[in-house]
Chain A
Amino acid sequence: MEPYRAAVTSDCEKLLSRFHETDSVRFQVFSKIWREMNFSQIFYGTVNHQKRAFSRLILDSAYSFFLPPFSFQIRVGGLYLLYSLHQSQTAAPPEQIRLALKDWEDVKKFEKDAMDAQHLDAIYILRQLMLKKAFHFTAMPTHLAFKKLRKKEVPALCEKFIERACRPQEFINNDLLEELSNIHELYGNLKSSVSETSKESSVNLIRQDLIPRLRRTVVDFHNWQHRKGDSEEEEGSGEGASSQQDCSRRAGLIASIKSKAYGEAPEARRSRRHRQVEVDITSSVAGTWKSPAYIRRKIASLRVRTNESLHVSDDMHKGVASASKITHLTSLGFAAEDTPNRLNGGKDRIRVPS
């Protein structure tokens, strides 16, 4: 079966690539492409005793598209692909989709995102797979038999399926800048209070322009990323050009939503100023980390997770896995919201937006 892996992956990518171009998450859009490509035929002509092995191969290949680092839209496509392949396979008894324990959280998160965005067809199909007992609840996504390949082929992830990094923008948001400038001010006051003499001193106790600089850096990064995307688009030619454009158009859309956060100046709002009068500075600073707003944005857990994913960076073999985790961090819940239906007001929950 192994010789078919590349062709199978390529066929799946082709299907998802066309799905990606539609910018839709509707099953009807997916099934139309499936029919146009005659995708049911992919099982045809498999010799009897190889049917199960082929089902296994193609389900394993499709499974990866259902997980991060792929964008929400591609993951919806991956889910539809798993469902369609599982239901169309010619093997008897049918092969099941192997769902690994470590991927469960990602699936639950996906379901929640789909739920929040009311993508009924995506939720329904996930539930159908559960109902039809289409999953094997496993330790790992594939059987492992200690097969160390001499020449390790690192599977090239389809770049345009992956969401662009946006963690700096998300992490350094307005609230954080506001909080930071508040703390910065308190810190400055504290510094000058312990060294009375230095009031007029030339020694810089603190970096005065820390917050504006931080903001400027993130905006610069954001703009650079934007320009880079545009130039890539110009480079695109021939067959891939339309999808490239599509990709950057969508990325631009996401970026514009996010960049709204930078419209306002990061001046500390009056409402936060009350903290200045608090005597116990350490406790008030510690307290802000636990304030409901921060818990909601999971900044503390982000730090934990960052450490987690960076911890393994010295291990070459983990390259792909850790990269996927880092990208995963960036998809903090917005993925479900940037699909066109939500932008259209989310009224049409089943049909394709025309």
Chain B
Amino acid sequence: MATSTDTKTNIPDYEYLDVNTNIFHIDAFRSEWLNRLQPSDFSFQEEDQETSDAHFAAEMGISAETMDELKSACSLDSLRCHPEDQPPDPEVVPPDPTLKTLVQRKKKQDHKATLKSSKNRHDLYADELERLTFGTRPEAVTDMIPEGEIILTMNIYYPATFEKFSHVRPHLTLLMTGSHTLAELRDAICCVSDLQVCGEFSNTPDMAPDFISKDHFKSSFFYFEGVFYNDMRYPECQDISITTIEWARDRNFPPYTQAKMEDTRFVDLKVKVGFPYLYCHQGDCEHLVIITDIRLTHKNDCLDKKLYPLLTHKHRVVTTKCAVCHIYIGRWLTTNDQFAPSNPCTFCEKCFRMLHYDTEGEKLGEFQAFPYVDRGAFN
């Protein structure tokens, strides 16, 4: 008997209430919506009011007079809570509010006013990224996202390497379209471990910056619902999922399969919304990936294909500053460093050189030095 939890249905419903959905095929979900809607419902054009009203009157079989009466009964003017010539200031909480929301807001603002205000520019521009692309249309028609396309919201979480990050779950949020491939998502994920330089360079600090991880360890995979999607675009790429697959096979786990990241579009995937999946790169840098939303495109969306994947949120992490000047972000990490106040310790480029090398560039004392890219470097 067909039930709402049947895997054959592509109508998403909760698997666990308010947590995640059952599994469904994204393109089939899209078709389910398109089958139910009129093309005008998801069109990027807005039908004009008069035409629409005329259609409505005809459909309902009502006279022009009744239609006018109906329109005035439903007018937005009837929602206005103030005299027309005395517009209020919507930026302030009105005096003596009765709505509980306003009482609470007022209390909070009064409390805030007593504190020393330290406005954070990052908070102020929190959703600026999305606002900037609101309703953007491309210059070339060919870059226009078609009506009825899917938009996905993805959260990519940073590896929880430090205990103190475990409760804030820093992440970045990206918007993707259904026709994007997983490889395009992979290229949009910026992670410091892709920039991390490997090796100890205390004797040859000038040699360090040429050696970037992404150029050397290209292999990576996504994992969604029993399938490992490997990046096989470059000859150096290796199938790094095979170890896991073989390990699982030897232990009688349900079989896992493989596919290519670059050949898989989002609409081809079967997923659960809200469920944690995996992105793994650099061998062991693992990120949780959660698809938090899937929906049809809307006329207010950024409709320029070229601007996707679209970054809408980037968590700020506390940057590790240089131990000497406390101004610049750390570029070097040293260990067993007799000059350092802590072990390990971070220094900016300038302070590192001044403290650890003489004017001839000769290394002073004993220490190991590792080029360091701070997690907050992209803030």
Q: Which residues of A contact B (CB under 8 A)?
A: 3-4, 7-8, 10-11, 26-28, 31, 34-35, 37-46, 48-49, 52-53, 84, 87-88, 90, 92-94, 96, 98, 100-102, 104, 118, 120-121, 123-125, 127-128, 130-133, 135-140, 142-149, 304, 307-308, 311-312, 317-321, 350-351
Select which of A132, A139, A146, A351 is within 8 A of B12 by beta carbon.
A139
| Given A139-B293, A146-B276, A312-B5, also A131-B16 (CB < 8 A) | no
Please tell me which one of the listed residues A34, A144, A318, A351 contacts residue B21 in the complex, with CB atoms under 8 A apart. Answer: A144
Contact B17 A146 (CB under 8 A): no
Identify 18 residue pairs between A and B in the complex whose beta-carbon atoms are under 8 Å apart, listed by A's number: A11-B101, A39-B79, A40-B80, A42-B101, A43-B90, A44-B89, A93-B134, A120-B62, A121-B74, A124-B71, A128-B74, A133-B46, A142-B18, A144-B290, A146-B290, A311-B5, A317-B17, A319-B17
* Residue in B74, B82, B135, B296 whose CB lies within 8 Å of A125: B74
**CB-CB contacts below 8 Å: B78-92 with A:** 78-82, 88-92
| Chain B positions within 8 Å of A87 at CB level | 76, 79
How many residues on the B side are at the interface (Cβ–Cβ under 8 A)? 83
**CB contact list, B47-72 vs A, under 8 A:** 47, 49, 52, 56, 60, 62, 66, 69-71
Asked whether B98 is an interface residue with its Cβ less than 8 Å from the other chain, the reply is yes
Question: A322's closest neighbor in chain B, by CB?
Answer: B4
- Chain B minimum-CB-distance residue to A118: B60
Considering the complex, give the chain A residue whose CB is closest to the CB of B100: A7
Contact B300 A93 (CB under 8 A): yes
Tell me if A49 and B104 are in contact (CB < 8 A): no
Q: Report B's interface with A, CB cutoff 8 A.
A: 1-5, 11-14, 16-21, 24, 29, 32-33, 36-37, 41-42, 46-47, 49, 52, 56, 60, 62, 66, 69-71, 73-74, 76, 78-82, 88-94, 97-106, 109, 123-127, 131, 134-135, 153, 155, 273-276, 290, 292-296, 298-300
Residues of A within 8 A of B273 (CB): 139-140, 144
Pairwise interchain contact A101-B49, C-beta atoms closer than 8 A:
no
Give the distance to chain A from B53, nearest Cβ to Cβ, in Å. 9
In angstroms, Cα B293 to Cα A136, docked, is 11
> Bound state CA distance, A166 and B52, in angstroms?
39
**A143→B292 contact, CB < 8 A:** yes
A40 to B21, CA, bound (A): 34
- CA–CA, A44 to B19, complex, Å? 31
Which residue of A7, A35, A138 is within 8 Å of B81 (Cβ)? A35
With contacts A93-B135, A137-B42, A145-B290 known, is A42 near B102, CB below 8 A? yes
- Residues of B within 8 Å of A101, CB to CB, are 11-12, 29, 32-33, 36
Q: Is the CB of B296 within 8 A of A136?
A: yes
Residues on B with C-beta less than 8 A from A45 are 90-94, 102, 105-106, 109
Nearest residue in B to A128 (C-beta to C-beta)? B74
Closest Cβ neighbor of B10 among chain A residues: A101
A37 / chain B contacts, CB cutoff of 8 Å: 98-99
A88, B300: Cβ atoms closer than 8 Å: no
Partner of B14, one of A34, A49, A321: A321
Would B49 and A139 count as touching, CB distance under 8 A? no
Which residues does chain A contribute within 8 Å of B18, judged by CB atoms?
A: 142, 144, 147, 149
In contact, A8 and B101 (Cβ under 8 angstroms): yes
- Say yes or no: A7 contacts B104, CB within 8 Å: yes
Ranked nearest first, the 3 interchain pairs of A and B with the lowest CB-CB distance are: A144-B274, A45-B93, A7-B100
How many angstroms between the C-alpha atoms of A84 and B77 in the bound complex?
11
Residues B16 and A317 in contact, CB atoms below 8 Å apart: yes
Residue of A nearest to B16 (CB): A317
The CA of A124 and the CA of B56, in the complex, are separated in Å by: 8
Residues of chain B contacted by A42 (CB below 8 angstroms): 99, 101-102
Which residue of A127, A130, A144, A304 is within 8 Å of B19 (Cβ)?
A144
Q: Is the CB of A140 within 8 A of B74?
A: no
Q: How far is the CA of A121 from the CA of B66 in the complex (A)?
A: 11
List B contacts of A133 (CB < 8 A): 46, 298-300
The answer to whether A124 touches B70 (Cβ under 8 A) is yes
Given A93-B135, A100-B12; A136-B298 close (CB under 8 Å) = yes
Contacting pair B104 A4 (CB below 8 A): yes
Bound complex: CA of A148 vs CA of B169, how far in Å? 13
Cα(A281)–Cα(B140), bound, Å? 71
Complex: how many Å from CA A142 to CA B49? 30
Find A127's partner among B56, B99, B104, B127 (CB 8 Å cutoff): B56
How far apart sit A28 and B297, CA to CA, in the bound complex (Å)? 33
- Assess whether A44 is in contact with B74, with CB atoms less than 8 Å apart: no
Closest residue to B52 on the A side, CB-wise? Answer: A131
Determine the distance from Cα of A31 to Cα of B21 in the docked complex, in whole angstroms: 37
Tell me the bound Cα distance from A40 to B94 in angstroms: 11
Instruction: Using known A-B contacts A138-B294, A144-B273, A350-B70, determine if residue A49 contacts B29 with beta carbons closer than 8 Å.
Output: no
B34 CB, nearest partner CB in chain A, Å = 9
Chain B residues within an 8 Å CB radius of A52: 127
Chain A: minimal CB distance from B14 (Å): 6
In the complex, which residues of chain A have a beta carbon less than 8 angstroms from the beta carbon of B80? 35, 40
| A84-B292 contact given A8-B101, A45-B105, CB 8 Å threshold | no
Known: A132-B46, A350-B70. A46 touches B105 (CB 8 A): yes
Expressed in whole angstroms, the minimum distance between the Cβ of A317 and any Cβ of chain B is: 4
Once the chains bind, are A311 and B3 in contact (CB under 8 Å)?
yes
Cβ-defined contact, B69 with A350, below 8 A: yes
Task: Given A49-B125, A146-B290, A350-B69, decide whether A84 and B94 contact each other with a Cβ distance below 8 A.
Answer: no
B125: A residues at CB distance < 8 A: 49
Q: Are A41 and B14 in contact (CB under 8 A)?
A: no
- A91 CB to closest chain B CB (Å) equals 9
Contacts of A148 on B, CB cut-off 8 Å? 16, 19
Neighbouring B residues of A143 by C-beta, 8 Å: 153, 292-293
By a CB distance below 8 angstroms, the chain A residues around B16 are: 148, 317
CA distance A137 to B17 in the complex (A): 20
Q: Known interface pairs A137-B37, A144-B19, A317-B17. Does A34 touch B296 (Cβ–Cβ under 8 Å)?
A: no
Distance A336 CA – B100 CA, assembled complex (angstroms): 32
Min CB gap A79→B, angstroms: 11
Q: Which residue of B lies closest to A134 (CB)?
A: B298
**Which A residue's beta carbon lies closest to that of B92?**
A45
Q: Are A7 and B124 also in contact (CB < 8 A) when A44-B94, A145-B290 are?
A: no
- The answer for the CA separation of A108 and B126 in the assembled complex, in Å, is 37
Q: Are A41 and B102 in contact (CB under 8 A)?
A: yes
> Which residues of chain B have C-beta atoms less than 8 A from A102's C-beta?
4, 11-13
- Cβ contact within 8 Å between B14 and A318: yes
CA distance A8 to B103 in the complex (A): 11
List A contacts of B131 (CB < 8 A). 92-93
- On whether the beta carbons of A312 and B4 are closer than 8 Å, the reply is yes
Q: How far is the CA of A351 from the CA of B93 in the complex (A)?
A: 34
